[in-house]
Amino acid sequence: MPFSYVLQLLLVFVTYFFTGRFGLTFGPVGGFATLFWLPTGISLAAILFGGYRLWPAIFIGAFLVNLTSHASLPVAATIGIGNTLEALFAAFLLTRFLHFHNSLVRVRDLLVLTLVAGPLSALISATIGTEALYLGHTISYQNIFSTWLAWVVGDILSNIIVTPFLLSWSIRFSLSKLTFQRIFEAVTVTILLATSYLLIFTDIWGIHGKIAPITYLIFPPLIWIALRFGQRTTATTIMLLSCISVWSTRLGLGPFVKSSISESLLYLQTFMGTVAITSLILAGVVHESNELEKRKDEFISIASHELKTPLTTITLLLQLLKRLQKKKKEIQSLELINKTESQVKKMADLITDLLDLSKIQIGKLELRKERFAMYELVQEVVDNIQRITKKHTIIIEEQTKKKVVADKERISQVLINLLNNAIRYSPKADKIIVSLKATSQDFIVSVEDFGIGIARKDQEKIFERFFRVKDSDNKNYTGFGIGLYIANAIVRKHHGRIWVQSSKGKGTTFSFSLPLSNRIRRKILPLK
Ligand code: ADP
């Protein structure tokens, strides 16, 4: 027998036995059915993680816990069989039929564990155990149902609380970066949770009965944890909270205290079960959506890199072709090549936007700051755009000669985006006004058009990723809805601001500000 296997058996047995003995001190119904029963969750997690071969540890653990609690030999053995079957059946159901993943990465894993396999397997051990107690004359006929109920509830709760807790710690994980903000958030939520606990269970401020029931105060901190700290922290918090509240209730504290411990625990555990399922599922949903988001970002990054390479080759080949056709003086072919080139340029711009988007997402957009005269940059960008824009005249209204410290390329990218949007979304107008102002603290650049405008409700979302206005005026324009998101990220990275003023059907003014007192930093600044 390999040593590691023996060690695993020993570990499961010891944890099972001692937590079991401890659980039986919490006023078990019929002497054996306790509502605070950690072994069920421990044995399920053990089988899921270590395999069916760990069953002997569970059987011996359950057998000895009951034997040392004055059950007769056949009763203890039967209960042992019931408890072992319970874990084996739950694990079999989960892995064989319910396609369960131990990492609990999907919400469905939590659902099948807590709502299907957990309750169904609890029925097995509760039925076998209660039957054994009745046939062994340990409980009377009248006590069968109450014993069975306590057994079922205790085991279900264990599967809901203990199994996710253990599974969440049994998988590999990397520590997330500890920032001051994160620590502050963790401390705040812990204080909130502790306060809710004190309010609910100890009534140290004497408000019980004076206001509406306050049991539900436990939800806000738990929801916060589920939303922001992931499944492992949620499962651990629930586990700790459950143990502390069972202990408090046993000491006669809190709103769940009834005439007997078992009755009190029945009320408490039903509440804790609901709390646990809700929080764990919420944490699961958040985890799943974060994962999807990550995968989407990765896809965008890979796709844009892969698309960029052939496009660069196409551009080079087109230039070569152009030179050849020029030599041959093929006017018609040259025209076609020029048209192809402009389409390829459009495509390359879209891909560059996608690449920028992924850089922003992973905090890798870099700024190369330098001192330059903004009016020169504005003039240069306007001239370039004016060269290819026939319909609109771009007027530069106000000027200032002050210099700014910023990433020239990125700021020109913002300007190009605003000007291109102004042209695109004002098909019936013929002018666009650009103005440049300097206050004592900021540079303000504005681009005003007289186009379709943006409704008030959409203005709030205009800088969000992938947002595009969905109304009849906008349906003829294509785009990814990322230009303004990138512009916003660039401006904010410069510690500036971007905003919009618009009136539907009349026109739009986009403005951005850059702080004037910005020292040059020689090193490249990554965008966080
Ligand atoms: P795209 O134009 O590629 O969809 P943007 O992020 O640049 O992406 O713009 C997002 C949305 O904002 C556009 O789809 C459009 O509905 C709206 N929008 C942007 N600029 C203007 C403008 N000057 N006038 C009216 N609507 C605009």
Mutate to test the pocket of ligand 1, among 421, 464, 500 (most ligand atoms within 8 A of CB): 421
Quick one: pLDDT band at residue 474, thresholds 50, 70, 90?
A: low
pLDDT(21) > 70? yes
- Quick check: 28 and 250 in contact, CB under 8 A? no
Q: Is the CB of 421 under 6 A from ligand 1?
A: yes
Residue 319 phi, psi dihedral angles, 5° rounding: -65, -40
Q: Is the CB of 481 under 6 A from ligand 1?
A: yes
Average pLDDT value for residue range 321-332: 89
pLDDT(416) > 80? yes
- Choose among 36, 22, 42, 133: nearest CA to 82: 133
pLDDT(518) > 70? no
Average pLDDT value for residue range 452-477: 86
- Quick check: 291 and 103 in contact, CB under 8 A? no
Q: Tens digits of per-residue pLDDT, 41-95? A: 999 999 999 999 999 999 999 999 999 988 899 999 999 999 999 999 999 999 9
Where do the DSSP E strands lie in 363-488?
Answer: 366-367, 370-373, 393-396, 403-406, 431-438, 442-449
Quick one: pLDDT band at residue 212, thresholds 50, 70, 90?
A: low
Nearest CA to ligand 1 atom 16: 469
- For residue 413, CA distances in Å to 251, 470, 488, 490, 506 come to 66, 25, 11, 9, 26
Number of CB atoms found within 10 A of residue 327's CB: 8
Q: Is the CB of 353 under 6 A from ligand 1?
A: no
For 332, residues 6+ apart whose C-beta sits below 8 A from its C-beta are none
With b for 16 or more beta-carbon neighbours within 10 A and e for fewer, the 509-523 pattern comes to: bbbbbbeeebeeeee
Quick one: pLDDT band at residue 420, thresholds 50, 70, 90?
A: very high
Q: Tens digits of per-residue pLDDT, 116-147? A: 999 999 999 999 999 999 999 989 999 999 99
The Cα 218–Cα 197 span in angstroms is 7
User: So what's the pLDDT on residue 36?
Assistant: 92
- Quick check: 196 and 217 in contact, CB under 8 A? yes
Nearest CA to ligand 1 atom 25: 453
Q: Is the CB of 447 under 6 A from ligand 1?
A: no
User: So what's the pLDDT on residue 473?
Assistant: 67
User: So what's the pLDDT on residue 329?
Assistant: 84
Residue 437 forms beta bridges with which residues? 444
Q: Tens digits of per-residue pLDDT, 77-92? A: 999 999 999 999 999 9
Q: Tens digits of per-residue pLDDT, 351-380? A: 999 999 988 988 888 899 999 999 999 999
Q: Which of 26-30, 304-308, 384-388, 434-438 has the lowest mean pLDDT?
A: 26-30
User: So what's the pLDDT on residue 135?
Assistant: 94
Average pLDDT value for residue range 404-415: 95
pTM for this one? Answer: 0.77
Quick one: pLDDT band at residue 528, thresholds 50, 70, 90?
A: very low
Q: Long-range contacts for 343-348 (Cβ within 8 Å, ≥24 apart)? A: 344/311, 344/314, 344/315, 344/318, 347/311, 348/308, 348/311, 348/315
In percent, the amount of the chain with pLDDT more than 70 equals 95
User: So what's the pLDDT on residue 464?
Assistant: 94
Average pLDDT value for residue range 444-461: 94
For 308, residues 6+ apart whose C-beta sits below 8 A from its C-beta are 348, 351, 352, 355
Mutate to test the pocket of ligand 1, among 420, 425, 456 (most ligand atoms within 8 A of CB): 425
Supply the mean pLDDT for the chain: 91
> What are the percentages of helix, strand and coil residues in the chain, rounded to 5?
65, 10, 25
Of residues 1 and 3, more confidence is placed in: 3
Q: Which of 17-26, 206-215, 461-470 has the lowest mean pLDDT?
A: 206-215
| Angle at 51 (CA atoms; ends 11, 5), nearest 5 degrees | 45
Quick one: pLDDT band at residue 223, thresholds 50, 70, 90?
A: very high
Q: Is the CB of 230 under 6 A from ligand 1?
A: no
- Quick check: 373 and 401 in contact, CB under 8 A? yes
- Quick check: 369 and 406 in contact, CB under 8 A? yes
Query: 484: CA distance to ligand 1 center in Å?
Result: 7
Q: Is the CB of 357 under 6 A from ligand 1?
A: no
Quick one: pLDDT band at residue 399, thresholds 50, 70, 90?
A: confident
* E strand or H helix that includes residue 370: strand 370-373
Query: 233: CA distance to ligand 1 center in Å?
Result: 41
The Cα 334–Cα 356 span in angstroms is 32
User: So what's the pLDDT on residue 522?
Assistant: 45
Q: Is the CB of 468 under 6 A from ligand 1?
A: yes
User: So what's the pLDDT on residue 211?
Assistant: 62
Query: 405: CA distance to ligand 1 center in Å?
Result: 28
Three-state secondary-structure class, residue 211: coil
Q: Tens digits of per-residue pLDDT, 400-409? A: 888 899 999 9
The Cα 257–Cα 213 span in angstroms is 14
pLDDT(499) > 50? yes
Do β-strands 497-503 and 370-373 pair in parallel, antiparallel, or remain unpaired? unpaired
Closest ligand 1 atom to residue 484 Cα is 6
For 207, residues 6+ apart whose C-beta sits below 8 A from its C-beta are 199, 214
The Cα 160–Cα 110 span in angstroms is 9
Q: Is the CB of 509 under 6 A from ligand 1?
A: no
- Choose among 257, 98, 230: nearest CA to 168: 230
Q: Is the CB of 414 under 6 A from ligand 1?
A: no
Q: Which two tokens stand for residue 375?
A: 């009016």
The Cα 20–Cα 32 span in angstroms is 10
**Residue at 330: amino acid letter:** E
Q: Which of 217-221, 246-250, 428-432, 468-472 has the lowest mean pLDDT?
A: 468-472
Q: Is the CB of 377 under 6 A from ligand 1?
A: no
Q: Which two tokens stand for residue 474?
A: 């906008």
Q: Which of 177-181, 264-268, 392-396 has the lowest mean pLDDT?
A: 177-181
Classify residue 141 as exposed, middle or buried by CB count within 10 Å of its CB (0-12, 13-18, 19+).
Answer: exposed
Closest ligand 1 atom to residue 426 Cα is 24
Report the Cα 413 to chain-centroid distance in Å: 31
User: So what's the pLDDT on residue 471?
Assistant: 75
pLDDT(496) > 70? yes
- Quick check: 340 and 319 in contact, CB under 8 A? no
Closest ligand 1 atom to residue 478 Cα is 4
Task: To the nearest 10°, report the CA torsion of 7, 10, 16, 20.
Answer: -150
Q: Which two tokens stand for residue 358?
A: 């992924």
Average pLDDT value for residue range 475-500: 91
